[in-house]
Amino acid sequence: MAARIFLAIFGLFSLPYAIYCFVDPAFLAPFAGVAATTTTGTIEIQAMYGGLQAGFGALALFGALRVEHLRSVLLSTAFLVTGLGLFRLLGAMRAGELSSYTVQGLAFEIPSAMIAIGLYVYGSRRASTPA
């Protein structure tokens, strides 16, 4: 039940952000310092911040709603969000800078990754324990 709740919350946070990034990619410029200088750049922002983030959210909601896919969605979420958070952290460390946007991203990604990993491992232990 905890895994389904986590995935539902993750999905409900991810999807609106994705839609907003697709509809108004210019909003990222003042907050994240990400701005498109060409039409191709705008499409790239819409694809990565809109489409990919929407995929994260849709996958999470799918896992929350379809119990038979819960474990694989948890594992996928663990890998994807760990990669996102880890490389955001490494990038910030390399740059020697932590903007408020970066801190907010890390505050969402690192706990989400830890929760997804924890729920996956806990579920694996429960599944392998004889009844």
Query: How high is the pLDDT of residue 131?
Result: 54
Q: Extract the tokens encoding 64.
A: 């929350």
39: containing domain: 2-128
Average pLDDT over residues 38-48: 96
What's the CA gap between 35 and 47, in Å, rounded?
14
pTM assigned to the model: 0.88
Q: Extract the tokens encoding 80.
A: 């994807």
What's the CA gap between 12 and 86, in Å, rounded?
22
pLDDT band at 82 (very low <50, low <70, confident <90, very high): very high
Sign, CA dihedral 72-78-81-86, equals negative
How many domains is the chain built from? 1
Q: Which residue has the tokens 């991810």?
A: 14
- pLDDT higher than 80, residue 124: no
pLDDT band at 125 (very low <50, low <70, confident <90, very high): confident
Query: How high is the pLDDT of residue 123?
Result: 83
Alpha helices for 24-130 (secondary structure H): 28-32, 39-45, 53-65, 70-95, 100-128
